Amino acid sequence: MYDLNLTTSHAPAQDDIQIRDITIGDLLRAVASERAAAEALVEVTQDGAVGRRWTHGQLKTDSEELARALAKRFAPGERVVVWSPNSPEWVLMEYACALAGLVLVTANPAFQTKELRYVLEQSNAVALFHVQGFRGNPMDSIAKEAVAGLSQIREVADLNDWEALFAFGSRASGLPDVAPDDAAMIQYTSGTTGFPKGAALSHRGLVNNARFYAGRCGVSETSTWVNIMPMFHTSGCGMVTLGCLQAGCTMVLVSLFDPDVVLRQLAETKADIILGVPTMIVALLDAQEQKARDLSALRLVSCGGSMVAPELVRRVQELFGCGFSTLYGQTEYCPVITQHHNDDGIEDLCNTAGQPVAQTEVSIRRVDDNTVAAIGEIGEICVRGPCVMLEYNGNPEATAETIDTEGWLHTGDLGVIDRRGYVAITGRVKEMIIRGGENHFPAEIENVLLEHPDVAEVAVVGLPDEKWGEIIAVFVRTTGGVLDEQMLRAHCRASLSPQKTPVVWEQVNSFPLTGSGKIQKYVLRDTYLAINEP
């Protein structure tokens, strides 16, 4: 724990872990030179079997070979989209793009055509690397539809076709010089316009955030980390993948989350750490209660992505017999902002999101005038440090709205901080819905529904849910008829991923409005909860 005694809601940066000015590719080379023969990556396939393995030396060799192939086809700074579930090829692409100076753009494998096309267009991508399908989503056919007519796309390749992946083009050979402040990735996150914004993240930000996070977790070269987090998110490709690289330890990469498969891997590999969103951890706890495995090596369960219930903390400590650490983050900060220490007590674990990570300033600022709040006063959580995103891709207005002239990143989340620097999340300035640790944007869903001729007005809100944290609810004023939930659900599914489709549908005759004519979503939410209390 940092020994702080704050007088205002401003926690200064702490320097217990030093900043490294290094790229992702150079970090890979440095670790491989020191731990060439040590195991780095273990594949767990979608059927739960253990597949291929890489040492740090082999990972560097394959990544450099792929980087040279990519550099013969793409120029430094060009953007390529990786659209795939977790796989070793994803990891190789992450390192190879970093070495070749390319910007990797991540895409959720549940995307439908419109969503994928938006990412391809908005990121100015020149290539799409994808798999044939995942969990029933026909990704190959969707890819063909999404790239149709996009003249900037020069290549569409199957990520599992190594001949195509490692093919050489006609560009001049050699890998470029890459700087720590260059963009390494673009990851799409929330936006008030209803369209996701592409956060451009630097090598320096991603490397150091993983360094701060893994350091506080106590990860060492003897650790084994089972990675169940999606690689298309900063949690999977940043916190865990780069956290394991920082420590030079083993990452067991799970392609498809299945509680029994994950528990088996935790037991067989004697893994000492795992990161998951609450829904994943609950599923693991339930499966462990059904069939106990030897998890005596498990030292820490790290958890983030949505509000963590006190009962979950206690269940982990009692059933797994290990420590628990909550974190709070945002993609725009690469992503971890606050995190618990491994010796924090139950009260802090249950009621706060921990202290800021190393080298990171956090302040709670009043929403109306951007001044620093008093201790215990609710305000917007703002963060400043080496992990702040470079920009929102192609969106200078949104960048200026999010990062102020003093370098503070405004998270859009509400919270308080105590004198010790422990932060508690109290709500959101934004209307973003966090379902199972994944962000959803009401305006995006509303825009799709408004395309249907039966929908006159619509409002999407989040409702509390024990399993998912929040679920998506929609309030609809129709053009005259009775709400046809089945028809509108099918309309949503034609354009949106399954998890974005509302599960609660309510027809209304009118909406509560502000004086300026805006829908008061909190009134809809509170009224629904008051009527539907269990």
Q: Which helix (H) or strand (E) holds 146?
A: helix 139-147
Question: Angle at the Cα of 530 (from 416 to 447), degrees rounded to 5?
Answer: 75
Beta-carbon count within 10 A of 256 CB:
16
| Residue pLDDT, tens place only, 391-406 | 999 999 999 999 999 9
Give the model's pLDDT for residue 193: 41
Query: Residue 430 has what pLDDT?
Result: 63
pLDDT over 50 at 22, yes or no = yes
Q: Which of 32, 76, 81 is nearest to 56 (CA)?
A: 32
Give pLDDT tens digits for 424-449: 987 666 677 888 888 787 878 888 89
The model's pLDDT over 93-151, given as tens digits with 9 standing for 90+, comes to 999 999 999 999 999 999 999 999 999 999 999 999 999 999 999 999 999 999 999 99
Domain-embedded: residue 460: yes
What is the model's pLDDT at position 309?
73
pLDDT band at residue 192, thresholds of 50, 70 and 90? very low
- Return the percentage of the chain with pLDDT > 70, whole number: 97
Tokens 């798999």 correspond to: 131
* Number of structural domains in the chain: 1
pLDDT tens per residue across span 306-332: 567 778 898 999 999 999 999 999 999
**The amino acid at 369:** D
Predicted confidence at residue 196, as pLDDT, reads 85
- Going by pLDDT thresholds of 50, 70 and 90, the confidence category of residue 460 is very high
Give the model's pLDDT for residue 326: 93
Q: What does the alpha-carbon distance between residue 527 and residue 12 come to, in Å, rounded to a whole number? A: 41
**Mean pLDDT value of segment 479-483:** 90
Whether 12 maps to a domain, the answer reads no
Q: CB within 8 A of 109, min separation 6: which ones?
A: 83, 84, 85, 131, 134, 135, 137, 139, 232
Asked if residue 451 is part of any domain, the answer here is yes
SS3 195: coil
Residue 312 three-state SS: helix
Domain region containing 452: 433-531
Mean per-residue pLDDT of the chain: 93
Confidence check: pLDDT of 77 > 80: yes
Q: What is the CATH number of the domain that holds 462?
A: 3.30.300.30
Pairwise CA distance, residues 514 & 498, whole Å: 32
On whether residue 495 sits in a domain, the answer given is yes
- The residue among 479 and 158 whose pLDDT is bigger is 158
Average pLDDT over residues 407-414: 93
Average pLDDT over residues 375-386: 95
The CA distance from 329 to 338, in Å, is: 7
Q: Please indicate, yes or no, if residue 319 is contained in any of the structural domains.
A: no
- Cα–Cα dist 500/485, whole Å: 15
Average pLDDT for residues 181-192, to the nearest whole number? 83
350, containing H or E segment: helix 346-351
Q: Which of 118, 54, 138, 135 is nearest to 90 (CA)?
A: 54
Residue 170 in any domain: the answer is no
Buried-exposed string 155-164: b where 16+ CB fall within 10 A, e elsewhere: bbbbbeeeee
In a domain, 480, yes or no: yes
- Cβ burial of 296 (10 Å; 0-12, 13-18, 19+) is exposed
| 503 assigned to some structural domain | yes
List the alpha helices (DSSP H) in 196-258. 203-217, 234, 241-247
Please report the pLDDT score of residue 191 as a whole number: 42
Phi/psi of residue 38, nearest 5 degrees: -75, 145
Does residue 515 surpass a pLDDT of 70? no
Instruction: Give the model's pLDDT for residue 307.
Output: 60
In the predicted structure, residue 358 carries a pLDDT above the cut 50: yes
